[in-house]
Structure 1
Amino acid sequence: MNPDPSTEWKNQSTVTEFILLGYQEHRTVLFIAFLIIYLAILLGNGLIVVVTTWDPALKTPMYFFLRSLSGLEMCYTSVTLPKMMANLVSGNLSISLPACATQMFFMLFLGATECFLLAAMAYDRYLAICLPLHYMTVMSHKVQIGLVAGSFTISLPMQLIQIGLIFSLPFCGPNEIDHFFCDIPPVLSLACTDLYVNELAVYTENILFVIIPFVLILASYAYISRTILRMPAGIGRQKAFSTCSSHLTVVSLFYGSAMVVYLRPKTSDSVRADKVLSLLYTVIIPLCNPLIYTLRNREVKASLSRFLSQKEFFKVNTG
């Protein structure tokens, strides 16, 4: 009598760690480049957090959400870059299954949080432009905290279920992941069992935490565009466009790369492209966010200038 396939898979599940192949050419150059990028991400986003907290002129809902986004970006990048830099330095490419599960959980959790946080920022802009007379009443501090807290907690149960489903699978080898972090598609490709339930869970998560927030953002900007186009041409319309352009740029970059990676059909040729695109939303966008929000925002630039001038004045006088 043939043995139970599930028992056979369990007996073959000897993989205790994965090998993150990542980027192994020009390791020294890549380490220096990623170290500079990581420090720039921490510095740029950290400055936004500090300045928007320090300046009373920026105590508005828009900057509360921007501060939350910058803090999120620092956490998001810290999930992948330190491990990747450690691999480049040591040459040790292994990651244990528990560490892989932890890394994947935080990537999924923080990625879903960013989707909802970007949707909350779009809702904030909708209220400010379409319903300005009710803006401060509706967007109270309690509502702001609720939206940010909700963005962080709404996906938590699903991510725990997702990680449980993935890492309860048997992995029989090979154990090499052609990626620089533990992402769902390359990890699932190593499982030696039927993946119907896992694929269903991935598609469900994509709909709940990618598509729905994106649709809410599109709906918000549809109303915003209609309201702006009804405004008389002049400073009011220009300011409205200006307050939305930075957020739209970030949304386009983040959702554009994430949707290509997670929603397109997987082929053998898509692995390398996914690895490059993952760099965009895990590294490049967090690096560009401070530039996008400061170069296109006069209030943040003015506040940053005042903050740096004050610190320099304090340094000179205490020196």
Structure 2
Amino acid sequence: MKEKNVSRITMIHLLGLQTPHSITFLIFFLFLLIYCVTICGNLLIITLVSYSKSLHSPMYFFLSQLSLSDILLVTDILPNTLHTVLMKGIIISFSDCITQFYFFAVSEGLECLLLTVMCYDRYVAICKPLHYTLLMNVQLCWLMIITCWVLSLLVGLILTLTVSQLDFCGPNIVNHFFCDLDPILQLSCSDVPNVLLEVTLMNVIIVITPFFIIIVSYVYIIITIFKIPSITGRQKVFSTCSSHLTVVCIYYGTMVCVYLVPSKGQSWDITKFLSLLYTVVTPLINPIIYSLRNKDLKKAVANIMNHCLQLHMSK
């Protein structure tokens, strides 16, 4: 057990990215631009799905929920990150740090579950097309979404309550750009094996099991695609799930590098860079990937632009 200091930690010194002073403003405006583009891109997806009748299908309903999760994630991470870039680190209260960790845990868990639900939707559409309308009905879609939200909120709450009950005696320096679990646990002077066991169990529920389901689903999807006789038919069917597969590979690939690869010998700079990929870059590219590779979304954007243009010309 770590030796306890006299006083309990009440403030956290968040070091941030520690960028060179000469490019501080460049990094700041880059992250600010990423934040604005991410919010606007994901809000556009949500708006298109809400108001375009052609997008009222399970796939786009799940996509709008993924966009909502991305907005929650970047809003939790980037404002503090922007502050740390300008100030070369900031001082925040311990309660603020724990709160940030809670919303981070919720949004990450929600992302994993939503990607799994979206994968199931593609599995039914490709492997059981004749039963798609029957299986993917409105009631089931809402049930899956509510389950994803409730489960992610519950898991985030369990982890946050467990961590907050530990004794934190210092030092109070977090060498990261946000309050992630590992940097927080390094500040604890309590024994953490039980916490790590609980974290592992939660990861099995919210990360590993969904990832296993995605892998199995894509095995069946790929087998079904190879059974299609024509190359054109294969390409057309594969295009319906290529965007989702790209997002899954980027998201889970970086998470595996950060959380499953042993951190010993891995510098904090590498950890921060990999963390940037799934906390900042993935929410940015999700709407871009889905928009660029989806004809329905492009058509919906064109229809809205034409409608706005006609309203403007009629005035």
Common topology (TM > 0.5): yes
Post-superposition Cα deviations, 1:60-105, rounded to whole Å, max 9, x if no partner, equal 1111111111111111110010122233345660111111111100
Aligned-residue sequence identity (percent) comes to 40
In structure 2, distance between residues paired with 1:31 and 1:153: 35
Change (3 A) 1:92 1:223: closer
Is 1:202 aligned with 2:196? no
Picking from 13, 16, 27, the partner of 1:22 is 16
Change (3 A) 1:176 1:268: farther
Per the TM alignment, residue 203 of structure 1 is displaced from its structure 2 partner at its CA by 1.5
Task: Give matches, 1:43-82, under 5 Å.
Answer: 43-82=40-79
Per the TM alignment, residue 284 of structure 1 is displaced from its structure 2 partner at its CA by 0.6
Question: 1:222 matched to which residue of 2?
Answer: 219
SS state of the match for residue 27, structure 2? helix
In structure 2, distance between residues paired with 1:190 and 1:311: 54
Is 1:156 aligned with 2:148? no
SS state of the match for residue 19, structure 1? strand
The answer to whether the 8 Å contact 1:171/1:191 transfers is yes
Per the TM alignment, residue 22 of structure 1 is displaced from its structure 2 partner at its CA by 0.7
In structure 2, distance between residues paired with 1:269 and 1:160: 29
Which runs of no fewer than 5 residues in structure 2 stay unpaired?
Answer: none
Picking from 247, 253, 263, the partner of 1:250 is 247
Question: 1:240 matched to which residue of 2?
Answer: 237
Per the TM alignment, residue 214 of structure 1 is displaced from its structure 2 partner at its CA by 0.3
Post-superposition Cα deviations, 1:220-242, rounded to whole Å, max 9, x if no partner, equal 11111111111121443222100
Per the TM alignment, residue 20 of structure 1 is displaced from its structure 2 partner at its CA by 0.9
RMSD: 1.8
Post-superposition Cα deviations, 1:109-138, rounded to whole Å, max 9, x if no partner, equal 110111011000000001111111111111
In structure 2, distance between residues paired with 1:155 and 1:258: 17
The answer to whether the 8 Å contact 1:206/1:262 transfers is no
Letter in 2 for 1:308: M
The answer to whether the 8 Å contact 2:59/2:118 transfers is yes
Per the TM alignment, residue 308 of structure 1 is displaced from its structure 2 partner at its CA by 2.1
Letter in 1 for 2:150: T
Picking from 256, 259, 263, the partner of 2:260 is 263
Post-superposition Cα deviations, 1:158-180, rounded to whole Å, max 9, x if no partner, equal 32221122122222221111111
SS state of the match for residue 92, structure 2? strand
SS state of the match for residue 237, structure 2? helix
In structure 1, distance between residues paired with 2:89 and 2:217: 47
Per the TM alignment, residue 268 of structure 1 is displaced from its structure 2 partner at its CA by 4.9
In structure 2, distance between residues paired with 1:92 and 1:20: 5
The answer to whether the 8 Å contact 1:12/1:170 transfers is no
Post-superposition Cα deviations, 1:188-226, rounded to whole Å, max 9, x if no partner, equal 111122211111122222211111000000111111111
The alignment of Structure 1 onto Structure 2 pairs a total of residues equal to 312
Change (3 A) 1:176 1:79: same
Is 1:139 aligned with 2:133? no
Question: 2:297 matched to which residue of 1?
Answer: 300
Is 1:12 aligned with 2:24? no
Question: 1:97 matched to which residue of 2?
Answer: 94
Picking from 8, 27, 32, the partner of 2:29 is 32
In structure 2, distance between residues paired with 1:315 and 1:279: 41
Change (3 A) 1:315 1:85: farther
Letter in 1 for 2:120: Y
SS state of the match for residue 80, structure 1? helix
In structure 1, distance between residues paired with 2:161 and 2:44: 37
In structure 1, distance between residues paired with 2:104 and 2:37: 20
Question: 1:286 matched to which residue of 2?
Answer: 283
Is 1:123 aligned with 2:120? yes
In structure 2, distance between residues paired with 1:312 and 1:93: 46
Post-superposition Cα deviations, 1:21-76, rounded to whole Å, max 9, x if no partner, equal 11243332222111111000011111111112221111111111111111111111
SS state of the match for residue 109, structure 1? helix
In structure 2, distance between residues paired with 1:315 and 1:49: 24
In structure 2, distance between residues paired with 1:209 and 1:271: 25
Q: Give TM-score scaled by structure 1 length.
A: 0.93
In structure 2, distance between residues paired with 1:304 and 1:275: 36
